[in-house]
Structure 1
Amino acid sequence: MITFANVEVRFGDFIALPDYELTVEEGEFFTLLGPSGCGKSTALRSLAGFIQPSRGDIIIGGKRVTHVPSHRREVGMVFQSYALFPTLSVWENIAFGLKVAKVSKDETDDRVRAIARQVNLSDEQLAKSVTDLSGGQQQRVAIARALVLRPKILLLDEPLSNLDAKLRHQLRAQLKELQQQFGITTVYVTHDQDEALTMSDRIAVMNDGRIEQVGTPQEVYTRSATEFVCNFVGDANKLSRATVDVLMRGSAARLDPDKPAYVRIEKVRIEAPGPDSRLTAAAPTLAGRVRSRHYHGVYSSYRVETETGTVRGILQEDGRGGFQPGDHVRLLLDPADILQYEAAS
């Protein structure tokens, strides 16, 4: 288990982490998610031992490691740039840490080849220069170099950000499978909400050096604890006060028109106007006209203009063409799906 206890990190007069508290359970795939500059990499590097906190404690497996050197913390680190040695072969890159630790030649060779097989690197690839490998293969080399030292914790600092979109999607699944295969506690840093939602057991959403929410991907998405989390994770409509007033009519749901209100775009049901509507008392209706439609293949996204404001929604594509700009529609919004937060002071 990993614990940050009242950790503060300063860079001169700037406080990057003002009072950081977090617990990561053993065996978890835990993600630090947030925008650039929010402090997530600072937290990771503090855990790795590359940054010294000005206050507080970092505890790993019940042992206080705040002032323990990086190489004695039993953590493996994979950097955004992979930090591989371009003049060395794949085998030499993976073996580098073992040589520094003065592991015997025979054991080094056995461990390098074993870990290479586990991350799907062939003997032929081990003999190549890392510069001859693809981005995805280089990433596996970086992971193998970290895992060959048999760390208790694996730290990954935006390891997919330099890859193209298709390869990122492929490697997400592979990374998660590797983590589950080794059963290793993993702390992952990213600004990509989709990565965090698809890979993590739990997520900490960060903003300005502070944690806004910790929870499972489903909790963070469906029950966003703060307005910042709601806006940063996923896609949501901010509803006008007039729209909230409409939703309150005839509904038992307790909404406050004075509080900011949001609804996820997939919770908005779009229907053609007419007597066959599936309208219920729990789902008040808004009349509107389609302003724009964007086709995404599996679904289309819509912007609908209503008397109380613009609302966005999505519809799964069924091959029948959906609605077109100018079409009259009605929107069904269940008040139970509305997320509300305290108004900013």
Structure 2
Amino acid sequence: MIIFADVTVKFDRFTALPAFSLHVEEGEFFTLLGPSGCGKSTALRALAGFVDLSAGDIHVAGKKITHQPSGKREVGMVFQNYALFPSMNVRENIAFGLRVQKLSKAETDRRVHEIAERVDLSRQQLDKQVSELSGGQQQRVAIARALVLRPKVLLLDEPLSNLDAKLRRQLRIQLKELQGQFGITTLYVTHDQDEALSMSDRIAVLNQGRIEQIGTPQEIYKHSATEFVCTFIGEVNRLSPALLGTFTTAGAVGLGIDAATYVRIENIKVVRPGAPHTGFAVPATVESHAYHGMHNVYHLRTEHDRLRAVLRGHDGWQPSDGERVDIVIDPASLLQYPASAGVLAAAGAEQ
């Protein structure tokens, strides 16, 4: 459906996207995920026609659109700040693109009411000013304005980043449901890993303009292909060679002692000393813990490492600060990467 073929985008001497290639399937909710400055918004804007390519081509639905004006690409875009017109009411905002296309008033009104109903905007809200709406309602207006043009592709550039955490969680669900209802191919840009994991059919993780990994949320999280992906997605502990050595001494096989080795915090089990377990146990002391409602995050000190682990509130036993415990790790849950991998990734895991 969407193909980036060796797309390069340069701004003066800076290369934002070097030979970027990507294939998005029809009907997918596909997310570009990465830190600020990694090139994800540049890729989105290149597809929309807002930035020129230095090399490569972009195809949508089998047609090359590389040199087409943005208005003829059949692409709808929702911006981070929604870019709604404050001088127009909701109805006029949604109808703006249709009027540019010179549709009749009757057809414009029909399509505005149709799309408003589908995104759960009432007729009363259509006559309100944008400033009278909540953040979530403004987002629906921006989506309606994009979808009323019946684009082949919907582009969303960090559309939830200006909302509070509770509203973001609510709108993730609504946005995904809307996309499913319309069945429209959607390319979503975010730096928020929770958004990406909870909403996407597939994810591309970007780093400095290059794709580190493409996969389903489960593949990205459980089988991170690179050290960067491993440390960017979720929370991890980096294990020292000394701690790995205790595992090999205890009989673990296939571990690279000198490899950069990580374990996600939920894959460390905390048990009473000497309790039955499956995996390899290491004695530790609870240094501190932080309460998060449904779970606690424990900071633990072993002979060799300081580690973090999660205990759910319904797990029953919750150790106290200063208490001696065993931590249990299954070697199958470890993620290992070549020792020469970047120092920045390791630093990110320690934050």
- Do Structure 1 and Structure 2 share a fold, with TM-score over 0.5? yes
| Structure 2 Cα separation of the partners of residues 32 and 344 of structure 1 | 26
Please name the residue that 2:330 is paired with.
334
Aligned runs of 1:6-155 on 2, under 5 Å? 6-155=6-155
Q: Distance in 1 between matches of 2:273 and 2:93?
A: 64
- C-alpha offsets along residues 1-26 of structure 1, whole Å, 9 cap, x if unaligned? 11111110000010000110111000
CA contact (8 A) 1:76 1:146 kept: yes
Q: Which residue of structure 1 lines up, in the alignment, with residue 244 of structure 2?
A: 244
Q: Is the 8 A contact 1:247 1:333 kept in 2?
A: no
Choose from 276, 279, 287 the match for 1:278: 276
Deviations 1:96-140 (A, max 9, x none): 000000111001001000100111100000000011001000000
**2:319 is aligned with 1:323:** yes
| In 1: Cα distance, 2:48 partner to 2:315 partner | 51
Alignment partners' CA distance in 1, 2:294 and 2:70: 47
**Distance in 2 of aligned mates of 1:237 and 1:101:** 55
Match 2:289 to one of 288, 293, 296: 293
Distance of 2:316 and 2:155 partners within structure 1: 47
**One-letter code of the match for 2:332?**
A
| Displacement after TM superposition at 1:321 (Å) | 6.3
SS, match of residue 111 in structure 1: helix
- Residues 253 and 201 of structure 1: is their aligned pair in 2 closer, same or farther, counting only changes over 3 Å? farther
Deviates more, 1:250-259 or 1:296-305: 250-259
Contact 1:265 1:312 (C-alpha < 8 Å) held by counterparts: yes
CA distance in 1, matches of 2:315, 2:67: 61
Measure, in 2, the Cα distance between the counterparts of 1:200 and 1:319.
Answer: 30
Q: Which amino acid aligns with 1:337?
A: S
Equivalent residue letter for 1:120: D
1:61 Cα offset (Å): 1.0
- Please give the alpha-carbon distance, in whole angstroms, between the structure 2 residues aligned to 1:165 and 1:252: 42
For structure 2, list consecutive stretches of 5 or more residues without a partner in the other structure.
342-351
What are the superposed Cα offsets for residues 260-294 of structure 1, whole Å, 9 maximum, x if unpaired?
A: 000000000000113xx2223xx110101001111
Q: Which residue of 1 aligns with 2:347?
A: none
Distance in 2 (alpha carbons) for counterparts of 1:3 and 1:343: 34
In the alignment, structure 1 residue 314 sits paired with structure 2 residue 310: yes
Give the Å deviation of 1:171.
0.2
Corresponding residue for residue 231 of structure 1: 231
Alpha-carbon distance in structure 2 between the residues aligned to 1:334 and 1:321: 21
Q: Given the superposition, is the C-alpha separation of residues 299 and 199 from structure 1 closer, same or farther in structure 2, using an over 3 Å criterion?
A: same
Amino acid at match of 2:134: S
**Residue type of the partner of 1:308?**
H
- Report how many residues are paired: 341
Cα shift at 1:319: 8.1
- Counterpart of 1:147 in structure 2: which amino acid? L
Q: Contact between 1:253 and 1:336, CA under 8 Å: does it hold in 2?
A: no
Q: Percent of aligned pairs with the same residue?
A: 61
Q: Which amino acid in the other structure matches residue 259 of structure 1?
A: A
Secondary structure at 1:318 match in 2: helix
Secondary structure in 2 matching 1:47 = helix
RMSD, aligned CA? 1.0
Does structure 2 conserve the Cα–Cα contact (< 8 Å) formed by 1:179 and 1:186?
A: yes
> Which residue of structure 1 lines up, in the alignment, with residue 300 of structure 2?
304
**TM-score, normalised relative to structure 2:** 0.96
Q: Give the whole-Å Cα distance in 2 for the aligned partners of 1:79 and 1:201.
A: 21
Per-residue CA deviation, residues 145-172 of structure 1 (Å, 9 max, x unaligned), is 0000000000000000000111000000
Deviation at 1:253, TM superposition (A): 3.6
Q: Deviations over 1:220-240 (max 9, x none)?
A: 000000000001000000001
